[in-house]
Amino acid sequence: MTIKEAKLFPFSLKLKTPFRNSNFTIDTREGFILKLEDEIGNISFGECSPLAGFSKETLDEAEEELSSFIKNIESMEPMHKFDFVNASVVFCFEQALFSLQIRSDVNFKNNFVQTKKIKTNAVVGLVEINDAIEIISKKIASGFDTFKLKVGRDNPYYDFLLIEKIRKLFGYDITLRLDANRTWNSDEAIEYLTNLQEFDIQFIEEPCDSLCGSLKTFENINIPIALDESLTDYDTAFDFIETCGIKYFVIKPMMI
């Protein structure tokens, strides 16, 4: 397979409803779509959308690296080794490249075309309780049965009231995941999460403002911990998976 052409398309999408977590509010998503075409006309796409506050690189840095790749594509040999720096660019290119490979070679062996499935959760931001209930009700009607709730309100009692109401209205047939985005210290996390143990929470993502705090919380509550922002690179993620006893990891391809 030879990449014959590569094009980059910027996008800026205004969200219908601003998305809020405990740290910031997002009302627009910006990024780039990479289009690849091989020598026989197969086409594939990849997305590059670094997020301010999470990604190490800026949108401008990602654009510069992708533009450099496109500028030099015609001079590259078929077996050229790509050496991208930024994680969101790596993900974008791999997404497009693997998709192109699958289209051009029916015998291509990979771990992406499998029958295994991971449940996709709908995400509910830091909205009013009644708004959250309405979102969940609509998502259940459209087929979702797994939800990730952003928590970390100024008054944690409202987190408790929301989760209590969800269980009363929808029962325990839906799966609940929580994400605090590193809002609490370990003492706060242990206190607040102890009160939520009765609600059958699958896991709580990044409860504390430090990794040590999250690990301390992991040792003192019955709700499993998930790591997300703590996984800053491949080696760190692999070490945690191998050694720390935590079972849940949120891997963001645009971050690692």
Strand 43-48's sheet: what is its strand order? 3-20, 25-38, 43-48
DSSP 45-95: EEEE---TTT-SS-HHHHHHHHHHHHHTGGG--TTPPP---SHHHHHHHHH
Task: Compute CA distances 245 → 180, 215, 218, 228, 249, whole Å.
Answer: 20, 10, 9, 15, 11
pLDDT of residue 54: 78
pLDDT of residue 208: 95
- Residue 108 gets the label, from left (phi > 0), alpha (psi -120 to 50) or beta, of beta
Burial of 159 (0-12, 13-18, 19+ CB in 10 A): buried
**Could you read off the pLDDT of 112-164 as tens digits, one per residue?**
666 667 788 999 999 999 999 999 999 999 999 999 999 999 999 999 999 99
> Would you say residue 14 has pLDDT above 60?
yes
pLDDT of residue 111: 63
Q: Could you tell me the CATH superfamily of domain 122-249?
A: Enolase-like C-terminal domain (3.20.20.120)
Query: What are φ and ψ of residue 210, in 5° steps?
Result: -145, 155
Q: Which two tokens stand for residue 88?
A: 């969101």
pLDDT of residue 20: 83
Q: Could you tell me the CATH superfamily of domain 3-104?
A: Enolase-like, N-terminal domain (3.30.390.10)
For the chain, the structural domain boundaries read: 3-104, 122-249
Unique residue bearing structure tokens 């690990």: 215
CA nearest neighbour of 6 among 49, 38, 40: 38
pLDDT of residue 198: 96
Instruction: Indicate the SS3 state at residue 185.
Output: coil
Q: In whole angstroms, how large is the CA radius of gyration of the chain? A: 21
Unique residue bearing structure tokens 């692999």: 238
pLDDT of residue 132: 96
Three-point CA angle 177, 182, 183, nearest 5°: 95
pLDDT of residue 162: 98
